[in-house]
Chain A
Amino acid sequence: MMQKRNIKRRKTEEIFVVNLLKLSGLVSIGTTIGIIFILGSQSIPFFGTVSLKEFFTGLNWTPLFVPQEFGVMPLINGTFMVAIIAALVALIFGLGSAFFLSEYASRKVRSYVKPLLEILAGIPTVVYGYFALTFVTPIIQYIAPETIIFNALSAGIVMGIMIIPMVSTLSEDAMSAVPRSLREAAYSLGAKKYQVALRIVFPSAISGIVASFILSISRAIGETMIVSLAAGGKPALTLNPLEAIQTITAYIVTVSQGETPQGSIEYQSIFAVGLLLFVLTLIMNLIGRWVVYKYAQEFE
């Protein structure tokens, strides 16, 4: 009798716990739904006032001045200019690091260097923003004296430094997935180490390297504090990296710094550009992940 009741109690407890655990798993799904729902629902009134055509084809973004204009192109221009500078810097140094770690370094060197490189990814972004503004910008101004204090180049370079570990890790993973037999075959034909690296490993790992480039652009698009501190707050349609620009994220920050009343068009506009940002990063992440998935199958 006693035993039976005990088994029953244990069973009830088990069912209760399983459902509780399941519920906590649902929080993460709720977060995604929440993001999509909130960005969508707050953007709808915005797009009631500003037409999609004006939003995507207008060439001026001046929500905080009169006359208010809502052409998002200058923000997209600024966002991608900084992101592409960052991704190029990260690609050059990240790829070089990956070649070194995967093809040249001994296991011991790798075990020391990799954690050091990872520290770069762990430093808060506001610290990088400070570094861009107070160290890198003066150097750029020394080389090109007409540069103003807020510019896309400084923010892009520093953001690139921050993303080096990401590109390096992803590319190195792709390189070490290249089968040893391919390398051995090249060596047996008399190839030198750099020839193996550039003509065997690089082409075989190219999809992983491309993926790391796409994912680093996605990461750079969403980066906020570096551009807010160093790239300026002036939306501009320009391809000159020495000028001040504004990114999507920096615009959201500019509006949020003050106490913008809920329901105003400025308040709605940060959700509209936030939705754009979310969609952009999601698409790039999906493409990047798909490319990684493809190369993972190549050598199976």
Chain B
Amino acid sequence: MKERLFYLLFLSSILIALTCLLILLIDVVLDGYSYLSWDFLTNYASRKAENSGILAPLAGTLWLVILTAFCTIPLGVSTALYLEEFAGTNILSKIIKINISNLAGVPSIIYGLLGLAFFTYFIGLGKSIIAGALTMTLLVLPIVIISAQEAIRTVQPSLKEAAYALGATKWEVSKKIILPHSIGGIMSGIILAMSRAVGETAPILIISSLVFITTVPSSPLDRFTVLPLQIYTWASFPKDEFRAIASAGIIVLLIILITMNSLAIYIRWKNQTDNY
């Protein structure tokens, strides 16, 4: 009797959590689907809810992700390579490792403050896309480093040792053996990090403020807004129509994130089946 009771108690806590997920998705879709249209994707934000669209934030998100990827990939992969293959167990690598796990626990809004004071004002980049992308790079760097480290660790030692036996240097082994064999895991980590960058709101809000933008940014030094920030703006208006287009924006955001995550899972899966 009691056995059954506790089983049901534990089962129901996980079911409640999953039901919340389901309700959330249904709620968003029901609120927003009627506002989804081609015009919604190609219009700019407007004072009227029914004319509003997400072209500017979509373009801003695209700019941000591309620039962030451009900065994050070389930095993240090099750091992971250094920690796994070159550093050994010296003090520097220990400090870097502890430091990375600490950085992963820093609230994202703190990165926003760092970006505002350093990139926006000290370097003088202003409230631009590049200031946002550099801030986002620092934010997602730990994710890329940790997943690249894991991918690099899965490369079979026999492959590396065969190359070393032929007289290859560490860099040659890294370039010709390790990177090609771990590229799948590294790629999927990068995509996951970029999907984090797409969904982050707080740091971008700190750097960019709430701006009303009705142009597609044409250079990295332009001002910008991103999709989650536009959703935040609309959701905080006290009018029901604006909340409805906020949920239409959420649907688009979730579709983008689901696509990116599925791609990451597919790459990892393909890579695993290719290796065996």
User: Interface residues, chain A, CB within 8 Å of chain B?
Assistant: 10-11, 13-14, 17-18, 20-22, 24-29, 31-32, 34-35, 38-39, 42, 92-97, 99-101, 103-104, 113, 116-117, 119-120, 122-131, 133-135, 161, 164, 168, 192-194, 197-198, 215, 218, 221-225, 228-229, 249, 252-253, 256-259, 262, 270-271, 274, 277-278, 281-282, 285, 289
B263 to chain A, nearest CB (A): 14
A234 to chain B, nearest CB (A): 15
Q: Tell whether, in the assembled complex, residue A14 and residue B171 are in contact, meaning their CB atoms are under 8 Å apart.
A: yes
Q: Given that A130-B247, A274-B113 are contacting pairs, would A285 and B102 also be in contact in the complex, using a CB cutoff of 8 Å?
A: yes
Q: Tell whether, in the assembled complex, residue A119 and residue B21 are in contact, meaning their CB atoms are under 8 Å apart.
A: yes
Interface footprint category on B: 35 or more
**B105 part of interface (Cβ distance < 8 Å):** yes
Q: Given that A20-B78, A22-B82, A127-B254 are contacting pairs, would A96 and B202 also be in contact in the complex, using a CB cutoff of 8 Å?
A: no
Q: Tell whether, in the assembled complex, residue B79 and residue A225 are in contact, meaning their CB atoms are under 8 Å apart.
A: no
B226 to chain A, nearest CB (A): 10
Contact for B114 among A34, A229, A252, CB less than 8 A: A34
Chain B binding site: helix, strand, loop or mixed by DSSP?
A: helix
Contact for B107 among A27, A101, A128, A249, CB less than 8 A: A249
A130 to chain B, nearest CB (A): 5
Q: Tell whether, in the assembled complex, residue B86 and residue A18 are in contact, meaning their CB atoms are under 8 Å apart.
A: yes
Q: Tell whether, in the assembled complex, residue A258 and residue B209 are in contact, meaning their CB atoms are under 8 Å apart.
A: yes
Bound-state Cα–Cα, A117 to B110, Å = 27
Q: Given that A96-B12, A129-B235 are contacting pairs, would A225 and B202 also be in contact in the complex, using a CB cutoff of 8 Å?
A: yes
Residues of the B chain whose Cβ atoms lie less than 8 Å from the Cβ of A38: 113-114, 117-118
Q: Tell whether, in the assembled complex, residue A127 and residue B78 are in contact, meaning their CB atoms are under 8 Å apart.
A: no
Q: Given that A24-B74, A100-B11 are contacting pairs, would A274 and B110 also be in contact in the complex, using a CB cutoff of 8 Å?
A: yes
Q: Tell whether, in the assembled complex, residue A117 and residue B11 are in contact, meaning their CB atoms are under 8 Å apart.
A: no
B156 to chain A, nearest CB (A): 22
Contact for A13 among B31, B145, B171, CB less than 8 A: B171
Q: Tell whether, in the assembled complex, residue B232 and residue A224 are in contact, meaning their CB atoms are under 8 Å apart.
A: no
Q: Tell whether, in the assembled complex, residue B24 and residue A131 are in contact, meaning their CB atoms are under 8 Å apart.
A: yes
A-B pairs with beta carbons under 8 Å apart, 21 shown: A21-B79, A21-B81, A22-B92, A32-B102, A39-B110, A124-B198, A124-B199, A124-B200, A134-B27, A192-B2, A194-B3, A222-B108, A229-B235, A252-B206, A253-B206, A259-B209, A270-B113, A277-B110, A278-B110, A282-B102, A289-B101
Q: Tell whether, in the assembled complex, residue B82 and residue A25 are in contact, meaning their CB atoms are under 8 Å apart.
A: yes
Q: Tell whether, in the assembled complex, residue B118 and residue A25 are in contact, meaning their CB atoms are under 8 Å apart.
A: no
Q: Tell whether, in the assembled complex, residue A32 and residue B235 are in contact, meaning their CB atoms are under 8 Å apart.
A: no
B230-260 toward A: CB 8 Å interface, digit per residue (1/0)? 0110011000000100110010011001000
Residues of the A chain whose Cβ atoms lie less than 8 Å from the Cβ of B23: 135
B100 to chain A, nearest CB (A): 5
| A284 closest partner in B (C-beta) | B105
| B199 closest partner in A (C-beta) | A124
The 10 closest A-B pairs by CB, nearest first: A222-B107, A96-B13, A124-B199, A194-B6, A21-B82, A24-B78, A100-B10, A224-B202, A97-B14, A285-B105
Residues of the A chain whose Cβ atoms lie less than 8 Å from the Cβ of B145: 28
**B41 part of interface (Cβ distance < 8 Å):** no
Residues of the B chain whose Cβ atoms lie less than 8 Å from the Cβ of A225: 201-202, 228, 232
A281 to chain B, nearest CB (A): 6
Bound-state Cα–Cα, A223 to B257, Å = 20
Residues of the A chain whose Cβ atoms lie less than 8 Å from the Cβ of B96: 25-26, 28-29
Residues of the A chain whose Cβ atoms lie less than 8 Å from the Cβ of B99: 28-29, 32
Bound-state Cα–Cα, A253 to B31, Å = 26
Q: Tell whether, in the assembled complex, residue A27 and residue B110 are in contact, meaning their CB atoms are under 8 Å apart.
A: no
Residues of the B chain whose Cβ atoms lie less than 8 Å from the Cβ of A101: 14
Residues of the B chain whose Cβ atoms lie less than 8 Å from the Cβ of A126: 199, 201, 228, 231-232, 235, 250
Residue in B14, B78, B83, B105 whose Cβ sees the most chain A Cβ within 10 Å: B14
Bound-state Cα–Cα, A289 to B109, Å = 22
Q: Given that A31-B141, A229-B235, A277-B109 are contacting pairs, would A25 and B27 also be in contact in the complex, using a CB cutoff of 8 Å?
A: no
Q: Tell whether, in the assembled complex, residue A100 and residue B107 are in contact, meaning their CB atoms are under 8 Å apart.
A: no
Residues of the A chain whose Cβ atoms lie less than 8 Å from the Cβ of B171: 13-14, 17-18
Q: Given that A29-B95, A277-B109 are contacting pairs, would A21 and B27 also be in contact in the complex, using a CB cutoff of 8 Å?
A: no
Contact for B141 among A11, A28, A134, A281, CB less than 8 A: A28
B31-60 toward A: CB 8 Å interface, digit per residue (1/0)? 100000000000000000000000000000
Bound-state Cα–Cα, A22 to B85, Å = 11
| B16 closest partner in A (C-beta) | A93
Q: Tell whether, in the assembled complex, residue A223 and residue B107 are in contact, meaning their CB atoms are under 8 Å apart.
A: yes
Bound-state Cα–Cα, A92 to B141, Å = 32
Residues of the B chain whose Cβ atoms lie less than 8 Å from the Cβ of A289: 101
| B110 closest partner in A (C-beta) | A278
Bound-state Cα–Cα, A31 to B114, Å = 9
Residues of the A chain whose Cβ atoms lie less than 8 Å from the Cβ of B110: 35, 39, 222, 274, 277-278
Given contacts A27-B138, A100-B11, A215-B105, list 12 more A-B pairs with CB under 8 A: A10-B172, A18-B86, A21-B86, A22-B82, A35-B114, A124-B257, A125-B199, A194-B2, A197-B10, A252-B109, A252-B112, A258-B210
| A252 closest partner in B (C-beta) | B109
B9 to chain A, nearest CB (A): 6
